[in-house]
Structure 1
Amino acid sequence: MKKQLQLSSKGKPFNNYVTHCVGTGRMGLALQKEYQEHLKFVQDKIGFSYIRGHGLFCDDVGIYQEIEKDGKPFVYYNFTYLDRIFDYYIENNIRPYIELGFMPKALASGDRTIFYWKGNVTPPADYNKWVDMVKATLTHLIERYGRDEVIKWPIEVWNEPNIGFWAGTMDEYFKLYECTARAIKEVDPDLKVGGPAICGVDTENWLHSFFKFCRDNNVPIDMVTRHCYMAKQPKIVGRYVYQEMFDPSYMIDELKMTREIMDQYDIVRDKELHITEFNSSYDPVCPVHDTPFNAAFIARVLSEAGDYAQSYSYWTFSDVFEEKGIPAAVFHGGFGLVANYMIPKPTFYTFEFFSKAGNELIYRDENIIVTKDKDGRYCLIGWSYHDPRDGKTLDPVSYEITLPAEKAQYFSVTKVVGGKYGNAAQTWSNLGKPRTLTKKQAEILKEAAKPLRYDSKVFAKDGKISVNMDIECNHLVMTEIFPVNDMTDTYWEFDTKEFYGLE
């Protein structure tokens, strides 16, 4: 049964921050050729403003250096790789969202590490040396890229100190945050710093404690950062992780809760909230990331998250990623919007579609948004998701939407992701799940990754146009409707009846 929507052209601002920031693997991966190709592709198609990743101070980037001089340790800083990485970002119109971490081995107080690439997560053995490194790095960036540019780059202190990414206590993280935030402001008071970058565990206690600490000690905080994932407990089978998901409203409720806590403290009440990581599953070998289900599931989050947060950074843009080792196949459950061999996944189109949404929100429910921009273009995005592992399939969600028309004629173009379309993982399975791809197989998968596309003419009647949207289960649909200046009458010699079926 179709839902009948009679909509006006007047709405409210659509708080759409879908392109504000995107996640990446550790910074050192940005030196790889395929990483750079993926980033260029994503920027050409979507165009994110910021990029955030781990490992700025890890040894593969090589900033912190200690050598012995006259029998004493001598510290210096090597910015060779940092410059290459950030130069490439700037060349591709994306700014760094700086995460300060992890600990250089020579500065670490212990040997506890995380991930295949062994990021050290212990507190600094010498906080003064840590502060000096932070100040030297930021000073170098200002000298290289200019103060007016670098003060636009947010700075986040560490990553997820409430779980295994920090070997110290909560109080030790607060110490790290305080000395780091004060050091940042010494370099330039207009640099923006925030935290606590927590994720999932003991959230309310951490937020309250962190805000009280900053308030009671007059510690600088320009924005609040945290992470959100929506997966339940994992089931591990060999190298893969399988999970059920909470409803996307779980993340929306997390954002509301965070805002409610922020409102209790003057120091952060009016500050921006940045979700510097989010996804469905928090594991980079969970097959959900490769599916149309994920595309529709994430669409529900994007439709509303901007009402509570000023950014929500999808983790990550690319499957060039090594937290659990080098990817063993083109589709392996990786976080990325783009699979290796530069094959877009279904969720890539979720972000591309939302990047095209208008700035005025006319209608929104749990399956669709209708937006308009100042040029009179309407953009409708619809989604339907259901975990298919229970053997059930939802009936299609269907709409008949009537919209005000300012022109006599419109052009409607629809793109569909799901089922056989925009679903390269299914084609990969049909190919026998090859572990590496031949050139021909890569071409086949790139073709399979494209959405279904169709277009039509739409004529106004009584100052209105009517369009239909049918959303199959685990599908994502976008319809753009453009006003048209019909020039047909100027082609007096052109007879469509003689043109082999052209309408």
Structure 2
Amino acid sequence: MASQSEVKQPATAQRVEDRMRRQDASSIETTVLVLRNASTNLVEEDFRRLIPQGKHMEGWTLEQGDILKIIPGRNLATLEQQNYYYLLFASKLSAFTYQGHATRIARMAASHTPSSMTSPIAVPPGYTIDGMDAHSAIQSFALVPASQDLDLRQLQPPLSPMMTSIVRNQGYNPLVSRSDRMAFEVRLTLDGPQIPANRIRYVLLETARDRSLAWSGGEELAPKITKWEPKSTVSPWDRESRTARAVASANNRSEEEQMQWDLEKQRRKTERDGMAMEFGPNGQEQKTMRTLGVVYVLGFYTEMAAQQFVQYWHQRPMVWTADDGEQGLDDELPPVANAEILCLLLPLLISSVVVARQVHISVDASSSMGVLPPVARFFGADEPNEATTPDGEVLLAELGQLSPHQTYFRTHNLLTTCDPSDDDTPRLKWGCTNAYTEDAQGNPIYNWTIIDQIFDTYLERGVKPYAQIGFMPRALATDPEPYTFLFNATNTYNIIFTGWSHVPTSWQKWGELVFQWVKHEVELRGEDEVNNWYWEVWNEPNIGYWNGTEEQYFTLYDYAVYNVRRALPTARIGGPEVAGGPGGSWLGLFLDHTINGTNNATGGEGSSLDFISFHAKGSPIYVNATDSAPGHLQMNVSASLQNVRDAFAVISSYPSEKDKPVIIGEDDPDGCAACQSDAYNYRNGLIYPSYTAVAFSRDLDLALRYNINLEGTLTWAFAFQNTSYFDGFRVLATNQIDKPILNVFRMFGKLTGERLVANSTGQLSLDTVLADSVRGASDVGVLAAYNQTEGKLAAMVWNYHDDALPKPGVQVTLDVSGLDTHWQGCESANLTHYRIGPTHSNSYTKWLAMGSPQSPSSAQIVELKAAGMLQTLGSPRTVQVESGKVAVAFSLPIHAISLLVLEK
């Protein structure tokens, strides 16, 4: 008689054969790890901090990249997040290496974290165990407490249909079937008394409109609200298929199906008893008397709208007033909202292919392109008096520390007259100094007090003036009235062009004003100091800033230059700061005048010109919702680059001028820092710094193409005192909290030395960006430099797209070669990885997570200021150098920027 094991063997063999057949039939190569018994509060960064990067990690293959996706487990009956997570990897090797690395750190943390039982001594900073920085590794480990075992296992194939769908889609299928293609879904429940379903939408939208929140910006941003009906979901516990699934499970139930099955059985039992069941951090069930309310699923077109909805409503009481005939809450406390973003498939925006876009970047440390010009160290603003406000003083000090190279600041209105005369309070697009007035007989009265205060503030904080000679004092303007104006963010721009924009009543008085000003600065600060400044004449004379002719501007320029040089013969002066690149024919005509035109001040030929300046602006728009895409902001970097290209083409056509320094005196995504509109809603988040990285880097490429001596690209953004937090103005900081944009300049400040040859398979060609901007695939570009003096190599990598829409990130492999040219015999290097992203160097997302407070507490301000600093992606670490080569792999979300710094 056969043994019991012999009887069971054929069935076992058949199941194994069936598994293999099903696995062979599957095209999915993704490997899944499942983390059980974990906190439901883990974030993506908790997992990514443990990623082994670099060839020093045995068994890690760089080309197979990072974690593809982290998906929190959910109970599909209630949509509640559970205490387990799915981790998707591109290969079994990547998953195995991550699993081993995480397990090793978990054991290390358990052995070296002080406790009341064993009380071991905590490892000190820098202490290594088997070549690993134990202190950093333990500090970065957050998957489970040190006192708890790590339960991280690989799901064995074949995967269940549900898991196969999750893997293919990198998330759950959309829970609510919609024709409106809303990509982001939010789970909303109410603890306590329930509001009638027909009132939920009204309460939410009224609150959004009253508070000017992101999801109320028109119908295309309004949430679509659906009551969740779990019976409509195909799940392992569906009533109609329960018997069939039970039979299937008895034969071959996968691990994740079993977890969901057991969980739902327990939950249904407790609900029959009138109770709710929750799970503690160790997986133990906890029964409470919490009433399970209705579950709503809200759909949003944009990630920002979904995030802001959650950050505003989570744990907030939902107050409502009943209409006539409706039953109200009587004396009950209002219900408390619970809101969270569901980790779902984005059907329009993410490909069904699970392997992320792979980008290979190469940097050759032995191949120099010449000195990298430190262009990103120029800033400016309309309002000169903002410099002496508390916010202005703090920000100027930060600008002075951005780079080892000198920072400069340009401002309008340094010669504008105050109105009333004793009021120099800054306001939008206005400033004044009272530098020039006249007595009753028309004699000049010079007063340098306010200018001195402004320039003192610059210099004391490490910033030097890029001194703009303008605008016209009231007493000198030919048509002075009206002179002042009140601008607000929705005004028509042209209201600002008042009396200060007019030609002077006397060219001689104008010239003498310039002479006395420069003479005063030399006497006060010395020739050596003032010789290091830039002087330029007026602003954008080809548009409304100058209410005169071209020839009258040339006269204005001639008198200014002559008198600057009369006061300081070695002063550095230039212009013409025209708008729109070359400004049509303006730039060419100006160069003609300075080369061989008649000097209106001296009668001689030509006029001095030490540097050439012009302006370049992007052209963002708001794209209304269509059948194929939601409404969204769309940038246009090609508009700015075309300005630059056209101006460079004009300059390079003049042999006598092409070697002169060129400064793009304003280089911005749009044309009005003090304006607000849907088209300008890029200024708080990541798209602004990523746009700037692309624009400035491509400016450098265009300078190489046209053989231009590019000396600077100036950002027209500063700060406004006494405005709301993150109000949407184009500023670098808000209430002394640095925005993400400021951190891209901190990155540029670390790119010093010689520019290196660097190539990226994800970078669009210069001609493509010039012609079409970045509307198809994202632009994954690189700018790299080596500083011989410091022995440092730095590479900036960005992932940019014009559309402010959710898009997939990329997997980057960065290969650096040629290090043996500089580091002979070097076997290892220190790597510091800086990141501007959703959770790094980003005060805006931190502020949103706090609920968008307009009166943050002292503790919140400390958090926000810390979030506004340039942060690293993990701790600095050691990487192996083999034959002068280093390889690093990392993921890069859309609109994120990385700066990797290698030093021996």
Class of the TM-score when normalised by the shorter of the 2 chains: 0.7 to 0.9
Q: Deviations over 1:288-339 (max 9, x none)?
A: 12221111111122324343421111112x2227xxxx63x12122222222
Question: Are the counterparts in 2 of residues 290 and 425 from structure 1 also a CA contact under 8 Å?
Answer: yes
Aligned residue in 1 for 2:597: 216
Aligned-residue RMSD, C-alpha: 2.6
Correspondence for 1:228 among 601, 604, 616: 616
Letter in 2 for 1:470: S
Question: Are the counterparts in 1 of residues 808 and 894 from structure 2 also a CA contact under 8 Å?
Answer: yes
Instruction: Find the aligned partners of 1:115 and 1:279 in 2 and give their Cα distance.
Output: 25
Q: Deviations over 1:88-147 (max 9, x none)?
A: 222222211110111111221223558647672111122221111111101111111112
Alignment of 1:312-461 (within 5 A): 312-316=713-717, 318-320=718-720, 327=723, 329-340=724-735, 342-365=736-759, 366=763, 367-374=781-788, 375-389=790-804, 391-403=805-817, 404-405=819-820, 406=823, 407-450=826-869, 451-454=871-874, 455-461=876-882
Question: Are the counterparts in 2 of residues 221 and 268 from structure 1 also a CA contact under 8 Å?
Answer: no
Alpha-carbon deviation of 1:243? Answer: 5.9
Question: Are the counterparts in 2 of residues 56 and 102 from structure 1 also a CA contact under 8 Å?
Answer: yes
More off after superposition, 180-189 vs 133-142: 180-189
Alpha-carbon deviation of 1:388? Answer: 4.3
Q: Deviations over 1:150-186 (max 9, x none)?
A: 1222211100111221122222222211222222222
Instruction: State the secondary structure of the residue aligned to 1:444.
Output: helix
Aligned residue in 2 for 1:43: 400
Alignment of 1:92-131 (within 5 A): 92-110=461-479, 111=481, 116=486, 120-131=500-511
Instruction: Find the aligned partners of 2:575 and 2:657 in 1 and give their Cα distance.
Output: 11
Instruction: Find the aligned partners of 2:361 and 2:609 in 1 and give their Cα distance.
Output: 47
Letter in 1 for 2:516: A
Letter in 2 for 1:62: N
Percent identity of equivalent pairs: 23
Alpha-carbon deviation of 1:368? Answer: 1.0
Question: Are the counterparts in 1 of residues 582 and 646 from structure 2 also a CA contact under 8 Å?
Answer: no
CA distance change for structure 1 residues 167 and 400 in 2, over 3 Å: closer, same or farther? same
Instruction: Find the aligned partners of 2:887 and 2:581 in 1 and give their Cα distance.
Output: 48
Aligned residue in 2 for 1:246: 636
> TM-score, normalized by length of structure 1?
0.85
Alpha-carbon deviation of 1:256? Answer: 3.2
Alignment of 1:65-214 (within 5 A): 65-68=437-440, 72-110=441-479, 111=481, 116=486, 120-200=500-580, 203-214=583-594
Correspondence for 1:55 among 408, 413, 438: 413
CA distance change for structure 1 residues 358 and 208 in 2, over 3 Å: closer, same or farther? closer
Aligned residue in 1 for 2:186: none
Q: Deviations over 1:427-482 (max 9, x none)?
A: 33333433444433322322332434322211223443222243221101111111
Q: Deviations over 1:376-428 (max 9, x none)?
A: 32111100112444x45144151231423421121111111111222222233
Instruction: Find the aligned partners of 2:623 and 2:720 in 1 and give their Cα distance.
Output: 24
Instruction: Find the aligned partners of 2:884 and 2:398 in 1 and give their Cα distance.
Output: 40
Which entry has the higher C-alpha Rg, 1 or 2?
Answer: 2
Q: Deviations over 1:324-358 (max 9, x none)?
A: xx63x121222222222x21211211111111113
Aligned length: 466
Question: Are the counterparts in 1 of residues 415 and 471 from structure 2 also a CA contact under 8 Å?
Answer: yes
Letter in 2 for 1:433: S
Instruction: State the secondary structure of the residue aligned to 2:366.
Output: coil
CA distance change for structure 1 residues 148 and 234 in 2, over 3 Å: closer, same or farther? farther
Instruction: Find the aligned partners of 2:582 and 2:646 in 1 and give their Cα distance.
Output: 13
Instruction: Find the aligned partners of 2:442 and 2:622 in 1 and give their Cα distance.
Output: 46
Q: Deviations over 1:228-284 (max 9, x none)?
A: 111246799xxxxx963223x543443332222123335533321111111112222
Aligned residue in 2 for 1:294: 688
Instruction: State the secondary structure of the residue aligned to 1:182.
Output: helix
Aligned residue in 1 for 2:900: 479
Question: Are the counterparts in 2 of residues 233 and 243 from structure 1 also a CA contact under 8 Å?
Answer: yes
Instruction: State the secondary structure of the residue aligned to 1:458.
Output: strand
Correspondence for 2:390 among 29, 33, 39: 33
Instruction: Find the aligned partners of 1:397 and 1:116 in 2 and give their Cα distance.
Output: 49
Instruction: Find the aligned partners of 1:475 and 1:379 in 2 and give their Cα distance.
Output: 17
CA distance change for structure 1 residues 427 and 293 in 2, over 3 Å: closer, same or farther? same
More off after superposition, 306-315 vs 7-16: 7-16
CA distance change for structure 1 residues 436 and 210 in 2, over 3 Å: closer, same or farther? farther
Question: Are the counterparts in 2 of residues 112 and 121 from structure 1 also a CA contact under 8 Å?
Answer: no
Q: Deviations over 1:21-52 (max 9, x none)?
A: 22234222222122111111232344643211
Question: Are the counterparts in 2 of residues 226 and 276 from structure 1 also a CA contact under 8 Å?
Answer: yes
Instruction: Find the aligned partners of 1:409 and 1:442 in 2 and give their Cα distance.
Output: 40
Instruction: Find the aligned partners of 1:219 and 1:245 in 2 and give their Cα distance.
Output: 39
Instruction: Find the aligned partners of 1:462 and 1:363 in 2 and give their Cα distance.
Output: 19
CA distance change for structure 1 residues 188 and 2 in 2, over 3 Å: closer, same or farther? closer
Instruction: Find the aligned partners of 2:803 and 2:641 in 1 and give their Cα distance.
Output: 23
Instruction: Find the aligned partners of 2:452 and 2:376 in 1 and give their Cα distance.
Output: 24
The one of the two structures with greater contact order (alpha-carbon pairs below 8 A, sep at least 6) is 1
> TM-score, normalized by length of structure 2?
0.49
Instruction: State the secondary structure of the residue aligned to 1:303.
Output: helix
1:255 aligns with 2:644: yes
Alpha-carbon deviation of 1:201? Answer: 7.7
Instruction: State the secondary structure of the residue aligned to 1:203.
Output: coil
Letter in 2 for 1:424: S
CA distance change for structure 1 residues 470 and 269 in 2, over 3 Å: closer, same or farther? same
1:64 aligns with 2:436: yes
Where do 5+ consecutive residues of structure 1 fail to align? 237-241, 484-503
Instruction: Find the aligned partners of 1:20 and 1:2 in 2 and give their Cα distance.
Output: 30
Instruction: State the secondary structure of the residue aligned to 1:311.
Output: strand
Aligned residue in 2 for 1:3: 360
Instruction: Find the aligned partners of 2:791 and 2:593 in 1 and give their Cα distance.
Output: 49
Instruction: State the secondary structure of the residue aligned to 1:288.
Output: coil
Instruction: State the secondary structure of the residue aligned to 2:543.
Output: coil
Aligned residue in 2 for 1:490: none
